[in-house]
Each structure stands twice: as C-alpha cells, then as structure tokens.
Amino acid sequence: MPLERDTWPELPYEAWRDTAATLHLWTQIAGKVRLSLTPWVNHSWQVPLYVSACGLTTSPVPAAGELIELEFDFLQHRLLARSSRGTQSGFALEPQTVADFYGRMRGVLQELGVAVTINERPAELRDAIPFPQDRSHGAYDAAAVQRFWRALVKIDTVLKLFRSGFLGKVSPTHFFWGSFDLAVTRFSGRRAPLHPGGIPGLADAVTREAYSHEVSSAGFWPGNDAFPRAAFYSYAWPEPPGFSTAAVPPGATYNTDLGEFILPYEQVRQAADPQALLLEFLTRTYEAAADNGHWDRAALECELGVPGRVRPLS
C-alpha cells in the first residue's frame, strides 16, 4: 500500500479500536519475552520496544549467550525473529486471536532455540485475560496499523530532538507496551517521595522503582476506551505546586482526572508546522515542571542537538 511520507496520518480511535486493542496485547507478548531475558535496568528501561524503520522492535535481547531480536514489520505485516546464530523465523501479521498469536510466538522462539517463560497475564489492564485464553481480541486492520506506525515515526523524530537538549539524566525515546505509549523522561537528579502505586496490572514495587526520582515525562498514546482519542501528554512526578496552571500552547489543557497536560494529536496533525507545535508543547510543559519544581536548569539543559555538529561547551 502507498505511504504518505510527508503527512501526519489521521488516527481516529474508533476507526481502529479493535485492532489497537489486539496490537496492544501482541506487543505485550513480545515485550514480556524481552522482560524475561534481560537484566533489570533502572526505571524498567530494559523492557520497552523501539520505533524502527519498518515498525517496532525489541532491539537485541540476550538469550543463552547469543542475541535475538523480535520485530513487528508494519510494511510487510510480519512478525520477524532473528538470532545471532543465523536463525530466522516469523509469521504473518493478520487477523488472529491473541491466543493464536501467543502460540505462534512460542513456536518461533522454539525455532530460534530460545527457552523462555513469561507472565501470561497482560500488564496495566483491568480484568485482563491471560494470553493463552484470549480469543476475544483478534482484529488486524493493516492500513490502520501502518498509519499508527507512520505517526510514531513522526513523533519519535520530535521526541529525540527534544531529548537532545538535556544534559542531565534522560531516558531513551521508547515504546512502553504496558501502557501502549511512546515516551521520553527527564530527571532532576533528586530522589522523589515514595509513589503510592495502585496502577492496575502493575506491581507496586515496579511503579515505585520507576518513579524513585523526580521526573518530567512526556509522550504520545493512541487512545483507549477510557480516553478515546489520540493525544500527547506531559506530567511531573511529584507534581509541584503551580504546574497545572502553567502557560502552555493553545489547545493544550490540564486534565485533572489524568493529572497531565493533554494536547490532542489531531490539533498537532492539522497545524501548519506539526513538529514546531509539538516541540513547543514538550518544552513549555517541561519548563512548568522544572521551574515550579526548582530544578537546576542551568546545569541540566543545553541547546538542541544538530546533526554532525559537536555540542559546544559553555
């Protein structure tokens, strides 16, 4: 199918609701393979997927002294599996239940010679059905998935540019399969109060380790039944006084239910310069967190990176 490379695609949630729910669960299966094989890294940075040139990838994962990689190819619509031993396998991404996808994934891993056991209950979802039993989710609209990936490509580029303007600790730009969002997080360098936890389908110990230090975090999610529209978000933990009333770009608002600033994806998509609007949203909401939280901005920030140019020292 032809790609519209220079446009931000439409992403109406209702139009691909069933496919989004299925894809969310499929990515959890691949992500849990990475989780089960990879040593723990601070803030669960060992578990996400990454936007790739054709979809979403685990990146290389250690397995019995070798490396494997799982990739969702949204151009050819295949699940690809590769091993540093030279073994390759995979199967078509097409309408199939989560249970069937899980069975095929297990078969692919066996072909690669990888023995792994995962927690079969989905994360961060209420009333989740274990993967081997889930025959209620099985939709796959290839065109909708490709539009979603094209949006991720556009957004990943902006998040990586935004990430380059920070000297302090900052996360990679990564796709968390539990919450099904693309995110980047900046850190003040100070410890945070103990997080109360309580996220459905996520152990409190994981949540508390993830939020062990003060953060300003921003990203994108395609929507769900509780919030049925694609949107960008930005929040601070802990949220400092004054954060929610900070000045942000027109169209962005603070959602008291979510405890986050929200900017609708559609507003960015239709802007004269989508990248500039998104970058302004990321910058202004970060500044709200940093200024109201009394971060040492002079020590933590730098100019945005430029390809091929060494960062000048101040």
DSSP states along 117-144 = ----SPSS-TTPPPGGG--S-----HHH
Number of structural domains, the chain?
Answer: 2
Q: Is residue 154 part of a domain?
A: yes
User: Cβ neighbours of residue 112 under 8 Å, at least 6 residues apart?
Assistant: 63, 68, 81, 82, 83, 85, 87, 89
The verdict on 228 and 183 lying in the same domain is: yes
Among candidate residues 133, 155, 184, the one where a domain is terminated: 133
The verdict on 20 and 42 lying in the same domain is: yes
Q: Is residue 180 part of a domain?
A: yes
**276 token code pair:** 């500039």
Cβ atoms of 55 and 34 closer than 8 Å: no
CA distances from 138 to 64, 132, 155, 240 (A): 32, 13, 27, 42
Report the predicted TM-score, pTM, of the whole model to 2 decimal places: 0.96
108's enclosing H/E stretch is helix 98-111
Q: Is residue 7 part of a domain?
A: no
Q: Is residue 6 part of a domain?
A: no
Q: Give the Cβ contact number of residue 37 at 10 Å.
A: 18
User: Cβ neighbours of residue 236 under 8 Å, at least 6 residues apart?
Assistant: 214, 215, 216, 217, 243, 288, 289, 292, 293
Among candidate residues 78, 110, 133, the one where a domain is terminated: 133
Instruction: For Cα atoms 68, 5, 18, give the angle at the middle one, nearest 5 degrees.
Output: 65
Domain range holding 213?
Answer: 142-300
The verdict on 164 and 79 lying in the same domain is: no
Amino acid at 264: P
Each of the 314 residues of the chain gets a pLDDT tens digit; together they read 445 556 899 999 999 999 999 999 999 999 999 999 999 999 999 999 999 999 999 999 999 999 999 999 999 999 999 999 999 999 999 999 999 999 999 999 999 999 999 999 999 999 999 999 999 999 999 999 999 999 999 999 999 999 999 999 999 999 999 999 999 999 999 999 999 999 999 999 999 999 999 999 999 999 999 999 999 999 999 999 999 999 999 999 999 999 999 999 999 999 999 999 999 999 999 999 999 999 999 999 999 999 999 998 87
Alpha helices, DSSP H, located in 191-273: 204-210, 265-269
- What is the rounded radius of gyration, in angstroms, for the C-alpha atoms of the chain? 20
Among candidate residues 133, 166, 194, the one where a domain is terminated: 133
Q: Is residue 308 part of a domain?
A: no
**245 token code pair:** 């009333």
CA-closest candidate to residue 71, choices 82, 84, 86: 82
The verdict on 74 and 216 lying in the same domain is: no
